Amino acid sequence: MANSINKKKLLISCKEATMLSVQKAEINLSFTDRMRLFIHLLICQYCRLFDKQIKMIDTILSTWNTNKKLTNDQKTALQAIIDKELN
Partner 1 sequence: MESYHKLNPQNWVAKYSDELFAFALVRVADEEIARDLIQDTFLSALKNLGTFKGEISEKNWLYFILKNKIIDHYRRISKTPLTRIDDQENEDEFFDESGHWKKQSLPKPFNQAISNQQHTFEFNEIIEKCKRKLNELQLTLFSMRFIDEIDSEEICKELDISSSNYWVLIHRIKLKIRKCLEKLLYGKQH
Q: Which residues bind partner 1 (CB under 8 A)?
A: 2-4, 12-16, 18-19, 22-23, 26-27, 46-47, 49-50, 53-54, 56-70, 74-75, 78-79, 81-83, 85-86
Min separation Cβ 39 and partner 1, Å? 15
Rounded distance between C-alpha atoms, residue 10 and residue 32, angstroms: 8
Nearer to partner 1, 31 or 66 (CB): 66
Give 31 or 68: the residue with its C-beta nearer to partner 1.
68
Nearest-approach distance from CB 31 to partner 1, in angstroms: 19
Residue with smaller CB distance to partner 1, 35 or 77: 77
User: DSSP letters along 22-77, please?
Assistant: HHHTTSPPPHHHHHHHHHHHHH-HHHHHHHHHHHHHHHHHTT--------HHHHHH
How far does CA 18 lie from the centroid of its chain?
11
